[in-house]
Each structure stands twice: as C-alpha cells, then as structure tokens.
Amino acid sequence: MDPKRQGHVAYLLRLWRVDNGAEAIWRASLQDVRTGERLGFAGLDEAFTYLRQQLEPPPKPAYPDCSTDPPAC
C-alpha cells in the first residue's frame, strides 16, 4: 500500500554546510526510510519543495472510471 494513503511518510533529513568562499551554503539530502532511496538537493528550498510535492493528494481524474467494480460513474 502507498504510504501516503496510510497517512504518513518518513524521511531522514541530512543537512551540511558547504563553505563557498564568501558565503556558506546549506545542502540537504532526504532518505526514504521505507525504501532507502536517497535524494540530494542544492538547498533547503529544493528539499522542502520536493516534500510538498510528495504530500500533495493525487489528482482526481477528469472523468469517472466506469471500468471499476462497482463503477465509479
């Protein structure tokens, strides 16, 4: 079952600072606790954008699915 449909997701968030000469930049990675998949991000904004997208409900179909049993139309 899709964990988003269960009402929870779990990620391990890692943050580290990279000194870029004149300024320090925060980098981030997220690791899906269930699958172990790890994603890297150039900054916090990108990591939070990804999380927001993962938590959005799936789009509803434009037309009802009449092929299901029982039909949803």
Give the start-to-end residue ranges of the domains of the chain.
3-55
What is the reported pLDDT for 67?
A: 77
Distance CA 73, CA 64 (A): 5
Q: Give the pLDDT confidence of 14-43 residue by residue, as tens digits.
A: 999 999 888 899 999 999 999 999 999 999
pTM over 0.85, yes/no: no
Strand-pairing partners, residue 17, are: 26
What is the reported pLDDT for 1?
A: 40
Q: How confident is the model at residue 64 (pLDDT cuts 50, 70, 90)?
A: confident
Q: How confident is the model at residue 69 (pLDDT cuts 50, 70, 90)?
A: confident
